[in-house]
Amino acid sequence: MFIVAFLLLWGPGLTESAEIHSLHYIYTAFSKPVGLPGIHEFTAMGLLDDRMIDYFDSEHQAKVPKQEWMRERLPADYWDKGTQSRKSKQQWFKVNIGILMERMRQNESTNLHVLQWMHGCEAETNPDGTLKFVRGMDMYSYDGGDFLSFDDKNGVWVAPTPEAEPTKRKWDGVQVLKEYTKGYLENECIDWLSKFVNYGQQQLKKKSPPDLHVFAKNSRVQTNIILTCLATGFYPKDVTVTIRRNGRVLTADDGLKSSGPLPNNDDTFQRREYVEVLKSDPSSYSCEVFHEATNVSLSKSWDVSMLSVPDDDGSAVTGLVAALLLVLIGVGVILLVLRKRRINGRRSSADTPESQELNDVRQE
């Protein structure tokens, strides 16, 4: 099952008033075509403060701007070089998925496998407006699980699984690669981040308040109903969403589940909280959302008619949920879950901001 999600990297050690900016690049490659609309065998994207700024996929074979200020401020050769860089990465991913499948003795013809790479940096704004490096991250994920990451403090690659050990040993044996990784994240990435923040500063200042919707659908269990609270259209992504039963805030112990912040296709976010309850439950249920950036607080309750959804209405609500899921993948790529990791790391320079070229040393 594919799950669309953003990797959230806000970590400890930052003051509440600090303005944080981030630049991340995410690459996703499948072992074979997926056969679903809008989901490509290979995709790559750049994200500035969680907003997509550029995009490449295996169908269109071109790195393109996703923000008007990127189109206006960066010359044609930037996009030409970026296209060539991402084409080379596409080939590297194809080769290395094959290597990993062989290493893990996986079926090449029937099973679908996915390799992801995410790297980038975060910085805190100094009083004079310059950016100060906070953390970098460089990590690989295979089939949705952690595969390899760079430990900047100790200057080594970390392999959480036995299958990653051969790659760790090979990459640890190349000192220039470790220095390159560290240099990129702490220096070049911050330089590009500073440039992009300057270019897009007007857009980055724009904030959007959330809309709040509550709805219900029948559960697979005939006696139960699923209450869903959807906050959508907000930016930035940090938002608090709670569901209450008779005034008490529900938690995971009560069966509450959350989607976490997910991207819409218009640079805003959505978050969904839901809980399964008995149709006969006489309790009063409500949902509250608070978006600190816009200081907007909203609240809605499920009325009696929503708590007694007829069985033959379930398909209509299911259709709504399906439509919402299509919106989530409307950005044209699928971001499989990359586990939350806080890693300090870094790399060196080239012609594009994500230019850590994946050379022969990185085979495996």
DSSP state of 86: H
Residue-level pLDDT at 158: 93
**CATH number, domain at 137?**
3.30.500.10
Q: Does residue 217 share a domain with residue 190?
A: no
Q: Does residue 173 share a domain with residue 249?
A: no
Q: Does residue 235 share a domain with residue 200?
A: no
Residue 257 has pLDDT above 90, yes or no: yes
Residue-level pLDDT at 349: 36
Residue-level pLDDT at 336: 36
Residue of 16, 36, 40 whose CA lies nearest to 28:
40
**CATH number, domain at 273?**
2.60.40.10
Q: Does residue 235 share a domain with residue 122?
A: no
Stretch 172-190: mean pLDDT: 92
Q: Does pTM top 0.75 for this prediction?
A: no
DSSP letters, 227-279, are EEEEEEEEBSS--EEEEEETTEEP-GGGT-EE--SEE-TTS-EEEEEEEEEET
Task: Using only the alpha carbons of the chain, give its radius of gyration.
Answer: 22
Stretch 268-289: mean pLDDT: 92
In a domain, 338, yes or no: yes
Strand-pairing partners, residue 291, are 296
Stretch 106-133: mean pLDDT: 88
In a domain, 53, yes or no: yes
Residue-level pLDDT at 201: 80
Residue matched to tokens 């930037």: 78
Average pLDDT, the chain: 79
Q: Does residue 124 share a domain with residue 70?
A: yes
Residue-level pLDDT at 35: 79
**Distance between CA 46 and CA 55 in Å, rounded?**
7
Q: Does residue 339 share a domain with residue 318?
A: no
Per-residue buried b or exposed e for 292-313, using 16+ beta carbons within 10 Å of the residue's own CB: eeeebebeeebeeebbebeeee
Determine what percent of the chain is predicted with pLDDT higher than 90.
48
Per-residue pLDDT of 131-146, as tens digits, reads 999 999 999 999 888 9
Q: How confident is the model at residue 11 (pLDDT cuts 50, 70, 90)?
A: very low
Q: Does residue 343 share a domain with residue 242?
A: no
Residue-level pLDDT at 359: 43
Stretch 342-361: mean pLDDT: 42
Q: How confident is the model at residue 350 (pLDDT cuts 50, 70, 90)?
A: very low
Give the total number of structural domains in the chain.
2
In a domain, 8, yes or no: no
In a domain, 1, yes or no: no
Least confident interval from 122-136, 193-207, 219-233: 193-207
Domain of residue 253, residue span: 211-331
**Distance between CA 90 and CA 59 in Å, rounded?**
11
Residue 37 has pLDDT above 50, yes or no: yes
Q: How far is CA 338 from CA 26, 63, 166, 267, 334, in A?
A: 10, 23, 21, 20, 12
Residue-level pLDDT at 47: 93
Q: Does residue 92 share a domain with residue 170?
A: yes
In a domain, 12, yes or no: no
Strand-pairing partners, residue 121, are 23, 136
Q: Does residue 95 share a domain with residue 242?
A: no
Residue-level pLDDT at 310: 54
DSSP state of 6: P
